[in-house]
A and B are shown apart, each in its own frame.
Chain A
Amino acid sequence: DQQVKQNSPSLSVQEGRISILNCDYTNSMFDYFLWYKKYPAEGPTFLISISSIKDKNEDGRFTVFLNKSAKHLSLHIVPSQPGDSAVYFCAASGQGAGSYQLTFGKGTKLSVIP
């Protein structure tokens, strides 16, 4: 039972345009959401996060939107750059029993074409 789903395994975007990566979740106990970026042969790198009390969080070119009623979040990258090409993982957490374990989606491979 996949609690965090990234339904697009891959996405190609032209340099300078907007990249939109989507993520859906099923567990209503999740109250914190994160995006990680991963290059081959490296560990995931934390990108941006959002608490369930907010619906938007921005950090430079990256913006995460949260729609709690739809149990959906998205990551917008504007403008997209070739260095953004990587696998992006959506993750969710709920503070159950004091643990902050993350539940990950399977990732979306973003290719930014120069």
Chain B
Amino acid sequence: DSGVTQTPKHLITATGQRVTLRCSPRSGDLSVYWYQQSLDQGLQFLIQYYNGEERAKGNILERFSAQQFPDLHSELNLSSLELGDSALYFCASSVTSGYEQFFGPGTRLTVL
């Protein structure tokens, strides 16, 4: 158990819909990262938050957004969903300046 929690574990929805994925980092970790793993791609970095502020952006679509709240939990919002958004979404956390990131169990999103 990494100490990172993600909810829900599975999500099935339809095209055009909007969903919110939630992540609670390990106690004491200030950085939260979101990654997407689709069938034909490896883990792709989406976005990072540090202590409530956006720190870095990767291959994140404009239809996707995220935020980190004062209690340090983070939410990833996916809107106008397309079939190609079906993937595993992982959240990871790390200490202030740590390279080692600890991953949650992921949310499997299926868009029908």
Contact = CB atoms under 8 A, between A and B. Distances in A.
Interface of A: 32, 34, 36, 41-46, 49, 89, 91, 93, 96-107
Contacts, number: 65
Contact of A101 (B56, B105, B106): B56
Given A44-B43, A101-B58, A93 B99 contact: yes
Given A43-B4, A43-B105, A98-B55, A34 B100 contact: yes
Contact of A49 (B42, B90, B97, B99): B99
B99 A100 contact: yes
Please classify how large the interface on chain B is, using the bins under 10, 10 to 19, 20 to 34, 35 or more.
20 to 34
Given A97-B56, A101-B45, A43 B101 contact: no
A41 B50 CA distance: 27
Contacts of A104: 35, 42-44
A108 to B, nearest CB: 11
B101 A89 contact: no
